[in-house]
Homo-oligomer: A and B are copies of this chain.
Amino acid sequence: MDQNRKLEGIIPLRTLVLNDGDTIIEDIMETNIISVNTHMDQEEAGNLFRKYDLIAMPVVDQENRLVGIITIDDIIDIIEQENTEDFQVMAAIEPSEEEYMKTGIMRLARNRIVWLLILMLTATLTGGIIRRNEEVLVSAVTLAAFIPMLMDSAGNAGFQSATLIIRGLALDEIKLHDILKVIWKEFRVSLIVGVILSAVNFAKIYFIDKAGVLIALTVSLSLSITIILAKIVGGSLPIIAKKLGLDPAIMAGPLITTIVDAVALLTYFYLASWLLGI
């Protein structure tokens, strides 16, 4: 440090030991320093450790004065804690640092009930879409049997994309300005995946369920469109969330499913009334 406590350089213990006793510190110190700031997010500090394979980093304040040191064994705990938080948030749980086996049931219930309530009430919107299209179901009740498959496939497709993007953002492998690249990538992936799924689906409904070509077409076409929309929504929402300063992980588990369910049902009923002339 200089006289103002500003950080000038660092020397690993190994370098110190391997040099003669009369070497001057200034000559052997490393001045190209990677340090963390007192205001830096702990996830960011973890990424620096990972990127540069460090075992310790100096901590400086806003005026670049040395205020402490952070070592890698603390970082490992932080990394696992950040990961646990992401897992919990994506599973629609209020994040908690307490170990599961040591947490009381009232606390566990409280961490879970908020999101379950929100999601239950938003899912009634999806129910509202069905209610407004009851006449379609009455005319062709067999259409109801494909709703779970459509909703699940849409949810799974969207969750896949969202998870990859959230993980990429957390590890700093995907940047905010990549959003258009991500959407374009997800669009092409969803075309491939959607066409294969729909072809298998069409064959199953037409040849095995023997439900008629129009029903098979309605379901398969809805599936394709839904998967494309689900993957674009799943890929872009986490990035948009981060841009808005929200936690990208919240956009994955909890919200993606609800949004994508609504998209799936709207597409399905729209296509059904059009193709089946209901």
List the interface of chain A (C-beta within 8 A of B).
13-14, 16-17, 46, 49-50, 53-55, 71-73, 75-77, 79-80, 83-84, 86-88, 90-93, 99-101, 105-106, 108-109, 112-113, 115-117, 119-121, 123-124, 126-128, 130-131, 134, 137-138, 141-142, 144-149, 151-153, 155-157, 159-160, 162-168, 171, 173-174, 178, 181, 185, 188-189, 192-193, 196-197, 200-201, 204, 253-254, 257-258, 261, 265
Complex alpha-carbon distance, A147 and B149, angstroms: 12
Alpha-carbon distance between A93 and B252 when the two chains are bound, in angstroms: 15
A-B contacts, 27 listed (Cβ < 8 Å): A53-B73, A55-B71, A72-B76, A75-B76, A76-B76, A84-B171, A87-B90, A92-B156, A92-B159, A100-B165, A105-B189, A105-B192, A109-B189, A116-B193, A119-B152, A119-B156, A120-B152, A121-B200, A124-B149, A126-B148, A126-B149, A127-B146, A130-B145, A131-B142, A138-B138, A144-B144, A151-B151
Contact present for A119 and B153 (CB under 8 Å):
yes
Not counting A130-B148, A152-B261, a sample of 14 additional A-B residue pairs whose C-beta atoms are within 8 angstroms of each other reads A49-B76, A72-B73, A76-B79, A79-B79, A87-B90, A105-B192, A109-B193, A119-B152, A121-B200, A127-B145, A127-B146, A127-B147, A130-B147, A137-B141
With most chain B CB atoms within 10 A of its CB, the pick from A93, A121, A178, A189 is A189
Report which residue of A17, A83, A258 has the largest number of chain B beta carbons within 10 angstroms of its beta carbon.
Answer: A83
User: In the complex the two chains form, is A148's CB within 8 Å of B151's CB?
Assistant: yes
Q: Which of B113, B134, B149, B171 contacts A123 (CB 8 A)?
A: B149
Copies in the complex: 2
With A106-B192, A117-B197, A200-B120 known as contacts, the answer to whether A148 contacts B127 (CB < 8 A) is: yes
Most chain-B CB neighbours within 10 Å: which of A71, A119, A162, A261? A119
